[in-house]
Structures are given as structure tokens and as C-alpha cells.
Amino acid sequence: MPELPEVETIKRGLGKFILHAKIVKVEVDPNCKKSFLGEESQVEGASVCSLRRRGKALLIELDNGMTMLVHLRMTGQLIWRGSECQLGNMVVNKDFNDNRNVLNTKIKLQDGDLVEQFAAGHPSKNFVAPLPNAQTRVTFVFERGKLFFNDQRKFGFVKVMFTDEVERDNFIATLAKEPWEMTVDELYKKCQRHAKSPIKAVLLDQKVIAGLGNIYADESLFYASVHPSFLAGRLSKEQVALILEGACKVMDASIESGGSTMATYLKPDGTTGDYLERFAQVFHRQGKPCVRCGQLLLKTKVAGRGTHFCPNCQKTSDFVLGESENDS
């Protein structure tokens, strides 16, 4: 599930291919018009002049006064295929790793050179599949390649708007600051405002803090040794400070490693971004020992979301734990 670090990875990786490139044509899945909100003619013929990111939203600014806001939601992907490396020219080795979060795929160009391809977002075999396919919602045809917006569950979208109206877009306008720009006092005040919500629910609210999703909310709370169900209004300022510090640190580490989902220039040896495997301390690790104390991690549900935590490190004295299960 693409969160802030994954979108940042996309922003950084995609620029190399589409910055200053002209969109020749846009093809939208006729069965999923809501994946592309706007008119194809509003972007066709225009060139990309900048790539920006606000929270989990990617902003592709064009030189004709329009901007495309891309939100991947849960299963969105952006995949670039250079025109000289269409699949017919590639040997795909379907040697998938059994770890579902990290696809260990190998792609070789016949000449053995670096494949001009970039794939990021929700990890799936689409990264190496022939495209477009059944999950392709929008295809942007550039002069030197194609950018595919794939989305299994159709929750993501590309929205065309005037560049000078981006800040008035509903999502952008209500988006909170990112962790690095936020002060402890600001976050503490917001916790007070949502005093009766579990802290995890508050962290997932993009109007409170931008960019955290299920993975980094769990990781930040583990960093701060705060139970996900702890009521936000009962946190001390010190605990809020630790949560904010944790959010910055786990996302910095993830961006550094290329995002939690696979994001890579696919080389002959198939290098992948593998934050989950290398850095995640609690997410998807239920039943495994806590890296700090050795106690087995638990998985429960908080704010309607699967939630991972250490029952020993993240217990809170004035708070009675809700029911939780160890479903390893």
C-alpha cells in the first residue's frame, strides 16, 4: 500500500523518464472512467514540467497550465516502459520469491543492458507483465515510452485540474503538514482535539498529519512504545514527541531504501526496494519475536485496520488492553 515514502520514491524515480517529455496520447480504460477525472484533451500535447508530492499525492505539472493529481490509494502502480524495451525485446524470468511483499523478479534485455523501466507502487507481477493488461486504467503515451497507471481495486485516480487551483483541491486543501514540518506542540494539540480516538486512528487522519498509512503508523507507535489503542488525549507531550520522531525516522529510512514496496530500475539481477524485510519492526510480524524484548508480537484491529504491536514494549499503565489475538 503506497504511503508517503513510496510516492516520494515514485516522484524521484519517474522524473528521469517523463520530465520535459511530451504526452502524445492518453488512453483510459472504458470500463473505469473514474480512474481519469478530466478530459484526455486537457493533457494531450503538453509536456511535463515538474513533479511534486503532497502527502501521498503525486502532482504532475504540465506546461499548459494543467496539473495531474495522482493518488494510488491501496493498489495503484505507476510503471514506465521505454519504447525500446517493450516486452517482446525482454526476457522475463518468472522466478518469483514466495515473499509476497518483495517480488524477486529478474528481467534481462537481450543485450544484457540496463532495462529502461521503472515500476513502483503496490507490488505485483504487473511490474514485469506485458502491459497494458486488465488492471491498466490509464496509459500515457509519450514520445519515448509509455507510462501505465495500473490499479487492481479501482480506488486510485488521476485528476486533471488547473495548476493554479491545485491548492484549492479538497484533498490538498485539507491536508496537514508532513512529519518533518510539524512541531510537537502542533501534533499534541491535534491529539487533544481528537482526545477520545485511539492514537492510531489519529495518525491515519491526513488532516492531522500527512503521509502516514497503516505501515508507518504501526512502526511509529512501536518506535515511541505507545499502544495503538491508547487514547490520543491521554498522551503526554513527551510521548507525542517520540511518535513524531518515529514517524520521521521510519519514513526517512524507507525513502532511503526505495520505499516499502518494490521500486527499482529492474536490472538483470532484479534489485528491489525491500523496506518491509529489512526495516519493519512490527508490521506483518505478528507471532514473531519483538526485536527489543523478544516477546511475541500481536496483531489486532484498531480503527478498523490490522494493527501490529508488541504487548510488552507498547503497554500503557493507565490503560486496559483491549482484546487482541495472536494469529500467527
Binding region for DNA (CB under 7 A): 1, 3, 55-57, 71, 73-75, 100, 124, 134-135, 152-155, 170-171, 174, 193-198, 201, 204, 206, 213-215, 301, 304-306
The answer to whether the beta carbons of residues 38 and 285 sit under 8 Å apart is: no
For DNA, the closer CB: 135 or 314: 135
Is residue 193 annotated as part of the catalytic site, yes or no? no
For DNA, the closer CB: 170 or 317: 170
CB of 144 to DNA, least distance (A): 30
Q: Could you give the CA distance from residue 169 to residue 246 in angstroms, rounded to a whole number?
A: 29
For DNA, the closer CB: 154 or 315: 154
Return contacts of 85-93, CB within 8 angstroms, 24+ apart.
Answer: 85/109, 85/115, 85/116, 85/117, 87/130, 87/131, 90/115, 92/128, 93/270
Is residue 198 annotated as part of the catalytic site, yes or no? no
CB of 213 to DNA, least distance (A): 3
> What are phi and psi for residue 62, nearest 5 degrees?
-105, 165
Phi-psi region of 294 (alpha: psi -120 to 50; beta: other; left: phi over 0): left
For DNA, the closer CB: 16 or 33: 33
Q: What is the pairing mode between strands 298-302 and 305-309?
A: antiparallel
Catalytic residue selected from 3, 6, 8, 116: 3
For DNA, the closer CB: 179 or 198: 198
CB of 233 to DNA, least distance (A): 7
CB of 211 to DNA, least distance (A): 8
Catalytic residue selected from 106, 177, 249, 305: 305
Nearest to 308 by CA among 190, 142, 291, 318: 291
Tell me the CA distances in angstroms from 137 to 28, 73, 81, 147, 212, one per residue in order: 6, 14, 15, 11, 25
Catalytic residue selected from 11, 54, 56, 285: 56
Q: Could you give the CA distance from residue 114 to residue 111 in angstroms, rounded to a whole number?
A: 9
> What are phi and psi for residue 94, nearest 5 degrees?
-85, 55
Could you list the beta-strand ranges (E) of 143-269: 145-151, 157-162, 264-265
CB of 219 to DNA, least distance (A): 12
Written as one letter, the residue type at 68 is M
Q: Could you give the CA distance from residue 166 to residue 69 in angstroms, rounded to a whole number?
A: 8
For DNA, the closer CB: 143 or 181: 181
Q: Could you give the CA distance from residue 19 to residue 179 in angstroms, rounded to a whole number?
A: 27
Q: What is the pairing mode between strands 76-82 and 136-142?
A: unpaired
CB of 279 to DNA, least distance (A): 17
Catalytic residue selected from 2, 132, 198, 228: 2
Please give the positions annotated as active site. Answer: 2-3, 56, 305
